[in-house]
Chain A
Amino acid sequence: MEPLLLHPDPAPPALAQALDLAGYPWKAAATADVAARVEPEDGWAGAIVCAHEDPEDAFALCRTLRKRDLPLEPLLLLVAGHQLADLELREDLFDDFCLWPFQPRELEARLKHLFWRTGRGTRPELVEYGPLVLNLETYQAAISGRPLDLTYMEYELLKFLATHPGKVFTRETLLSRVWGYEYYGGARTVDVHVRRLRAKLGNEHEQLIQTVRSVGYRFGQSRWSI
């Protein structure tokens, strides 16, 4: 699935984590120009725009996205309760909205429904990379056809890495995106789990997760390596 466009940039942490957990890839963009520049080849899968902090900016962005030759849809708007009146006469700017602060379950349900209605970009059920297959529906992982018996956090970490192949993540980023912000174990937790994952992947495949010296970890090959 192509990524969802997220506004603003940086994306609110709670939203980033909810999307990661639900398995939706995303990219944040601050302006319509940036959104156009980093747009994937097959177009954005959709957009989530947060209007609770800077409504003027958010509505302006929605307008631009909708006025394109190929209007961006579906577009989910996040608004604070006191802004509901602002939605009047702006119905054309979004396909659905959700109240901020949001309930992760509600957000997931609305996204699912939006994608079903617009008939595009359903969440991927399988993530494949070389010998590794992850089924996001059933939480099962297998390497070369052999099932991997993972604990929950090992699974979540592997899922996150495998859905972003070739990209280098710092321990801090992994900690916040996979464990969430309230976790207090520190970045060593990431090292511990990477080692546990490598042990389970076995000698043959442990190199799927590479240590990038003094930066963090990368899953699979770098996109830029020759």
Chain B
Amino acid sequence: MTSMERQQDYVMRTVEERGVRYIQLWFTDVLGIPKAFNITPAELENALAEGMTFDGSAIDGFSRVQESDVLARPDANTFQILPAAASSAPVARVFCDVYNVDGTEFEGDPRFVLKRQLKRAHEKGFSFFAAPEVEYFYFAGDGSSRPPQPLDHGSYFELTVADLAGDLRRRTVLTLEDMGIPVEYSQHEDAPSQHEIDLRYTDALTMADTVMTMRLVVKDIAQQAGVHATFMPKPLAGVQGSGMHTHFSLFEGDSNAFHDEGDEHQLSKVAKGFIAGLLTHACEITAVTNQWVNSYKRLIAGYEAPVYVSWARNNRSALVRVPVAKRGRPESARIEYRAPDPSCNPYLAFAVVLAAGLKGVEEGYELPPEAAANLYQMTPEERLAESITSLPGSLMEALTEMEKSELVAETLGEHVFEWFLRNKRAEWADYKSQVTPFELDRYLPLL
């Protein structure tokens, strides 16, 4: 049997042996919202061989005027039985790639956008790894109270007895581990009811799949306890928002391409080019890494979120941070990109980060000097003098930057690029037409 046949055989036999009742076919729309439909074991063989046809016009960003049918083809390598109560019949999931009915890759599929970029990196001899730190909030009930009601008032690293949120997080971590998703670290964050789960690095495609899985598991376990979990970037004014700082590295074969023993900071030419690429194109890719109106409420000064386009080794206000690699562990050299928030589409976000970084490597961009001081304490004039620019201040600004970007258009492909801009402009128009409590409170008494 070829390896492909064995994989499919493995899936078929496992479904039979474990009495799996149905299989969820998972994929993602352009905004990163998980989509699924169920098939029975009887349909599985055909799905593995030929894919399952469905109406793509029902999915955001998939619709096209002409033919709307597309094919979901399971990636047998991602087949996984979902953890469930021992009493119920097992359910399995498998991630799908989306194809046109003529068998060509469907350009609206975010997984395909990332795969295409990974292939580009591979052609240059690189494999790309990612390890995100995902922050999120738990709110009481179904999250419908205004403002949302935090579950606890614990602070950083605090251990409280009978801590429901902590218990939820622990159960989440155990479930993730059962699904083969190792967690590096989990902790209570600064803001009330905010938590963080750090995932161990994998290749970027597996990690994008993992982020999708993880968001579902977090929400699911919260919901079972009557709690609402959210990855909304800034659900509460006045406290920190939720970010998804992500550690990235490039490997050339088995050696870390970011490491150079001879350099004073052990940063290779590739690492410097990659960072410079990220900084140069940071504003263009922000609409993708921070895709909602609300994302820009997080990217403000004073809450440990990045605002200025800069890099540093040990300065957490920088957009790109270079953690100091442990001595004698060159394989752990990496960079941390701090802009993304956990409500991004991870496939598209990883794709644009890789594209920006690779561009810097290919073109040999020069790395600007490291940001020395705390950037927030500098005056606008001082920042100008050091030519430190700011990230876009709103979704609209980000879209304007993105629209001008060859790099993003090329990376996302025309279909996703155009749909994304159209969809996000509509979101901005809706937002702009609102009259907010801020305005009423401030202006009604005064004007």
Quick check: B177 and A149 within 8 Å, CB to CB? no
Given A149-B80, A180-B3, A186:B127 Cβ within 8 A = yes
* Interchain CB contact (< 8 A) of A188 among B9, B10, B78, B251: B251
Q: Which residues of A contact B (CB under 8 A)?
A: 21, 104-105, 108, 138-140, 147, 149-155, 171-172, 180, 184-189, 192, 195-200, 202
Quick check: B203 and A139 within 8 Å, CB to CB? no
Tell me whether B7 is interfacial, beta carbon within 8 Å: yes
Tell me whether B17 is interfacial, beta carbon within 8 Å: yes
Chain B residues, CB < 8 A from A185: 127, 203
- Which of chain B's residues has its CB closest to A22's CB? B1
Tell me whether B81 is interfacial, beta carbon within 8 Å: yes
Could you list 8 A-B pairs, sorted by A, with CB under 8 Å?
A21-B6, A139-B17, A149-B179, A152-B11, A186-B127, A186-B251, A196-B182, A197-B180
Chain A residues, CB < 8 A from B180: 150-151, 154, 196-197, 199-200
Tell me whether B14 is interfacial, beta carbon within 8 Å: yes
Tell me whether B122 is interfacial, beta carbon within 8 Å: yes
Grouping DSSP codes into helix (H, G, I), strand (E, B) and loop, the A interface class, with mixed when no group exceeds half, is helix
Instruction: List 6 tightest A-B contacts by C-beta distance, closest first.
Output: A149-B81, A196-B180, A199-B177, A199-B182, A187-B254, A195-B182
Tell me whether B76 is interfacial, beta carbon within 8 Å: yes
* Interchain CB contact (< 8 A) of B181 among A180, A188, A196: A196
Given A151-B78, A152-B7, A185-B127, A195:B200 Cβ within 8 A = yes
Chain A residues, CB < 8 A from B83: 149
- Which of chain A's residues has its CB closest to B206's CB? A192
B349 to chain A, nearest CB (A): 20
Quick check: A151 and B77 within 8 Å, CB to CB? yes
A114 to chain B, nearest CB (A): 18
Quick check: A184 and B182 within 8 Å, CB to CB? no
Quick check: B251 and A140 within 8 Å, CB to CB? no
Quick check: A104 and B1 within 8 Å, CB to CB? yes
Tell me whether B400 is interfacial, beta carbon within 8 Å: no
Compute how far the CA of A197 lies from the CA of B177 in the bound complex, rounded to whole angstroms. 9
Quick check: B178 and A186 within 8 Å, CB to CB? no
- Which of chain B's residues has its CB closest to A180's CB? B3
Tell me whether B238 is interfacial, beta carbon within 8 Å: no
New A-B contacts (18) at CB < 8 Å, excluding given A140-B18, A184-B127, A199-B182: A21-B3, A108-B1, A138-B13, A138-B17, A139-B13, A149-B178, A152-B11, A152-B76, A152-B77, A185-B127, A188-B127, A188-B254, A188-B331, A192-B202, A196-B181, A196-B182, A198-B182, A199-B176
Given A140-B18, A188-B129, A151:B203 Cβ within 8 A = no
Residue interface mask B73-104, A partner, CB < 8 A = 1: 00011111101000000100000000000000
